[in-house]
Structures are given as structure tokens and as C-alpha cells.
A and B are shown apart, each in its own frame.
Chain A
Amino acid sequence: MSTLLQVNDLKVAYGGIHAVKGINLEVKQGELVALIGANGAGKTTTLKTLMGMVKPAGGDILFDGQSTSKLAPHEYVSNGLVMVPEGRGIFSRLTVEENLQMGAYSRNDKAEIAHDLERVYYLFPRLKERQKQLAGTLSGGEQQMVAIGRAMLSRPKLLLLDEPSMGLAPIIVQKIFEIIKMIAAEGVTMLLVEQNAKLALQTANRGYVMESGRITYSDDAAALLANEKVQQAYLGE
């Protein structure tokens, strides 16, 4: 499998605080990789840096063999780097359908967009029922579906998911993770940041554990699940 994302010695600093202290990370074509760790470990900062929302202090990011350092923030999507942000980031006063259409903002292939929209409605029949409703009136789980469906309409080469379980009831979290598996099965490569480490590692192929800005473990997801230290620190066992 070819490497889709290659991160070398990435450092990020906010003011004087070093949030990410030189990490190496890679995601191969077709993989679902989990990045787990405690609150404040630097996971979200890492994702934001991958999307160009935060400028790195050092290191480099290669996506599809190209450095992303020269891209403007709005050019990431058309290159296939797509993120579902923490807290879902839906446009609450746009309708469900308008939110989904925003995912296709940088595309101009009308027929293909219409086709993708139908596919999202097929995957999420609930959204089809609510397509004319303002997205702010939906439940948290439905909003997460909007956020994921919207990302699908961007036709991601690499989909970055930031805390998709945040603020959702356990039963809804299960459902969202089924959706994530379904999307992975369709061949979408994903990097998943998640505090619910167990669920993330059960879903992913490989995992990285992040601690105070550093990667402390990286292995196959099954091996991390079996690792005693990871179990003690993150899996509550």
C-alpha cells in the first residue's frame, strides 16, 4: 500500500507552549488509523495543523507525495484533505441539504454532486427526511451525520475525524462508529482522533498513542488493545 500521509518531526507551538513536540506519523492508502490520548495531549492540534488551520513550528507534512506547506487554507479540500471538526461544526442556520452542499463547495461537477448527495441520503435516511430543516434544530447524533455526510460530499482522499463521539449518548456513539466502519469499507482512508480509546482501537487498523505532545506508542490496533500499559492508561482496565 502506498503512503498517503507522511508526517515528519512535526512541531507546533502556541505562544511559548509546545503543544506538539516532534511527531512522526503515517497513514497508508485505505487504512483507518486512530490517534488516541488524554485531553490536552495535542491530538486536535495535530489535526488542525494537518488541515493548515495552525502553522507548524517545524517538521514537514507530505500528502500524496506533495508538501502541504504552500497550500492556502481553502485549497486543502480540493486536494482531498477533508476534516470533520471537533464539535461537528455544522452551519446551524443552513438547512441539512445546504450543509451537505457546502461539502461540495469546491467541486463543479454538478451531476456527480447530485449523485453523491443521493448516496449520502441513502446512507443516512434520517437526513433525507430532514433535508429542509435547519441543521441547528437536529439532535447531536443527527448533526454528526450531517458533518460526516458533508465531508463525504467533498470526496476525501483522507478524512480526518476529530472526536466524533464527543457529547453524544453511548447508543448514538455506537451508531456513528458503525457509520465510520461503513465508510472505511467503501475505501475511504481515515485518521480518527478520539478520546474513547477502546472504541477507536476496535474500529481502526492501526493506532498511535499521544502523550503531552509526543507519540509514545504506535502499533496495530489489536496489539495496542492488548498492551498492558495502554490498557492501564487509556482503556480503564
Chain B
Amino acid sequence: MDIFLQQLINGLVVGSIYALIALGYTMVYGIMQLINFAHGEIVMIGAMVTITCINLLLGMGVQMPGPVLLLVGLLMAIPVSMFLGFAIEKVAYQPLRKAPRLAPLITAIGVSIVLQQVAMLIWGRNYRPFPSILPTEVHIIGGAAITDLQIAIIVLALLLMGGLFYLIEKTKLGRAMRATSQNPEVAKLMGVNVNHIISMTFIIGSALGAVAGVMVAANYDQAHAYMGFMIGLKAFTAAVLGGIGNIGGAVLGGILLGIIESLGSGYLGDLTGGVLGSHYKDIFAFVVLIIVLVFRPSGLMGERVAERA
């Protein structure tokens, strides 16, 4: 029972992070039917900038409690990622607005590779340890352990998702984003500046990605120039699982994928008689991706309201 509960908690933590990243994929897809493969790198750069900031502050001998240092690092990383997301769209995708869909997709992969290489030039090819500034004591709930950091990750992710829902459902900007995703030509007729809406979508998604990147680095105590690739693929899988283009679907898909992966890896050794260990956990995301694509390509929440002519 306690293994189950422990893996469930771990799954929730990882799932919340996947969900935040999946939102970035799904928002961009919803507006312009583009899979922004560079989104994983925005997540990575969020993590790297935070680590650099914290190390700089520590190096200057700044005396601050760990969580405050983390917050400062995070507040530096968010605008960097936001700007990066904005700039990528302007430089790489906007000129291809009228090109066939394959062109921006391949460009996205190119941008992703460029950012990985640039990150390696700046931060090197080794793992960057996350500074040990956070309290490490654990709380025991029903035989399972949870740290303050894990609680903070879940709570912050839920707050951000709630904020995003409010923005999209209740504000004028959100309404314009939804209208643009449904019918950009008519949205223009209403006076919506579609380029502005697309920029905002990238900026918001990148901010969520930066936060997620810091969460990953803090949770696993490390970051790496290539980390965005795998986490990006998994979050993309989560978005597809939920129904790509669907905001609620990204959240559901992210959390489900986190739990599936965590529970799966927890029991994988027992199930296969020790042949496959928990280090094979990455297979779950892609098995899920294949199953969804074969049996329900529109995803769990990807059903659309019938549209009458």
C-alpha cells in the first residue's frame, strides 16, 4: 500500500510539471496548429537561468533563506523564457505563417537543436547540480514520504493552471485567443490582431514552461542542456493524451501521464520478474502515445461540439 501511495504522490508531482509544459504545447497548437518542438528547450533554459542566478547570488555571499533564493532565480528565469518564446515565434515561425504546415514543424525541430547547442556553449555539456538550498526533511503521510518542495510544486502548478483557466475563460484576451483558435479570419474581422494573440500565446506558454523547468531541476537536483528533449516529448505526449488543442485536456493528460509513469515504474520490476527495472520508466510515456494515436487520436477530451453548417 505505501509503495502505491508513494508512487501516486511522485506521479502527482511529475504529472503537475508535465501538465504545465503540456499547456504550452497545446495553447500554441490550438492557435496555429503547430507543434512547437522548441518548447522543451524553453523549459530547459528556465531551469538553467535559475540555477545560474542562485549560484551567482550564493557566490556574492548573499544571505537569504533557500526558498527565497529559489523564488528570485525563478523570477529571473520567467522573463528570459518569455522573451525567448516571443523571439522564437517572431524570427522562426511568423515568416512561415502562410507556408505549408510541414515547414514550421521542421523549423521548430531546427530551433530546438540550435537552442540545445547554444545552451551547451553557455552552460557546458555536464549535468549542472541544483544548489542545495532547500529544506530536505520529509513529511510522512500514510507511510509515504513527501517533501516541502513536492508540496510546493503541486500547489504552485494548481495555482498557475487555475490562473490560466481564468485568463482563457473570463478575460477579453482569453476570449480573443479562443476566437482566434476557432476562426482566425473572422477574428481579424472583429479587430483582433492575430499576430499579437499568437505572441501572447507563446509568452504565456513560455512563462509556464520556465516555472516547470525550475520545478524539474529542483525535484531531480540537476539540469542539463539536453533535458528539454525528453521532458518536452513527454509533455507533448500528455497534450496528445488529453486532446491536443484542449486546455483542460493538457492538465488531465499531464497528471495522468505522471501517475501512469510513476506507478508503472514502481511495479515494473515486480511485473517482469526483475527483467526490466524502474530505469525503463520512459517507455510508459511512449506506449501511452502509441495507444492514444492508434485508438483515440483526438485524445481523451478532444471531442468537438457538432458544428452546423
Which residues of A line the B interface, CB within 8 A?
A: 51, 53, 72-78, 82-83, 85, 87, 89-94, 98, 101-103, 105-106, 134, 136-140, 143, 150, 154, 167
Chain A residues in 8 Å Cβ range of B182: 91-94
B305 lies within 8 A of A154 (CB): no
CA distance A101 to B182 in the complex (A): 15
B305 lies within 8 A of A134 (CB): yes
Chain B residues in 8 Å Cβ range of A85: 185-186, 189
**In chain B between 103 and 157, which residues have their CB closer than 8 angstroms to a CB of chain A?**
none
The stretch of B85-93, B172-180, B227-235, B290-298 in contact with A is: B172-180
A74 lies within 8 A of B188 (CB): yes
Q: List 8 A-B contacts (CB under 8 A).
A: A51-B189, A53-B189, A76-B189, A85-B185, A89-B183, A102-B176, A102-B179, A167-B309
CA distance A85 to B187 in the complex (A): 11
A98 lies within 8 A of B307 (CB): no
CA distance A77 to B306 in the complex (A): 29
B191 on the A face (CB < 8 A): yes
Chain A residues in 8 Å Cβ range of B194: 74
Q: In the complex where A91-B178, A91-B182 touch, is A77 in contact with B190 (Cβ < 8 A)?
A: yes
Q: In the complex where A136-B306, A137-B306, A140-B309 touch, is A94 in contact with B189 (Cβ < 8 A)?
A: no
B175 lies within 8 A of A89 (CB): no
A153: nearest chain-B partner, CB-CB: B190
Chain B residues in 8 Å Cβ range of A51: 189
CA distance A167 to B308 in the complex (A): 11
Report the 5 A-B pairs with minimum CB-CB distance, sorted nearest first.
A106-B191, A77-B191, A89-B186, A74-B193, A92-B307
Partner of A94, one of B172, B179, B308, B309: B179
Chain B residues in 8 Å Cβ range of A167: 309
CA distance A105 to B176 in the complex (A): 8
Q: In the complex where A74-B193, A93-B182, A94-B175 touch, is A136 in contact with B188 (Cβ < 8 A)?
A: no
Partner of A101, one of B175, B188, B193, B307: B175
How many Å from the CB of A136 to the closest CB on chain B? 5
B308 lies within 8 A of A138 (CB): yes
Chain B residues in 8 Å Cβ range of A98: 175, 178-179
CA distance A138 to B142 in the complex (A): 51
- Give how many B residues have a beta carbon under 8 Å from the other chain's beta carbons: 23
B308 lies within 8 A of A91 (CB): no
Q: In the complex where A75-B191, A105-B192 touch, is A91 in contact with B307 (Cβ < 8 A)?
A: no
B191 lies within 8 A of A74 (CB): yes
A73 lies within 8 A of B186 (CB): no
B279 on the A face (CB < 8 A): no
**C-beta contact mask, B66-97 vs A, less than 8 Å → 1, else 0?**
00000000000000000000000000000000
B304 on the A face (CB < 8 A): yes
CA distance A59 to B183 in the complex (A): 30
B189 lies within 8 A of A77 (CB): yes
Chain B residues in 8 Å Cβ range of A78: 191
B190 lies within 8 A of A93 (CB): no
B188 lies within 8 A of A53 (CB): yes
B308 lies within 8 A of A93 (CB): no
CA distance A230 to B99 in the complex (A): 43
Which among A82, A92, A138 has the highest number of chain B CB atoms within 10 Å?
A92
Chain A residues in 8 Å Cβ range of B191: 74-78, 105-106, 154
Additional 20 contacts, C-beta under 8 A, given A94-B182, A105-B191:
A53-B188, A53-B189, A74-B191, A76-B189, A77-B190, A89-B186, A91-B179, A91-B182, A91-B183, A93-B182, A93-B305, A94-B179, A98-B179, A101-B172, A101-B175, A105-B176, A106-B190, A106-B191, A136-B307, A136-B308
CA distance A53 to B307 in the complex (A): 24
Chain B residues in 8 Å Cβ range of A53: 185, 188-189
CA distance A24 to B189 in the complex (A): 24
CA distance A90 to B179 in the complex (A): 9
A83 lies within 8 A of B189 (CB): yes
B187 lies within 8 A of A139 (CB): no
A167: nearest chain-B partner, CB-CB: B309
CA distance A89 to B190 in the complex (A): 11
B186: nearest chain-A partner, CB-CB: A89
**C-beta contact mask, B163-181 vs A, less than 8 Å → 1, else 0?**
0000000001001101100
How many Å from the CB of A109 to the closest CB on chain B? 13
A103 lies within 8 A of B190 (CB): yes
CA distance A73 to B184 in the complex (A): 12
Which among B178, B179, B183, B191 has the highest number of chain A CB atoms within 10 Å?
B191
How many Å from the CB of B189 to the closest CB on chain A? 6
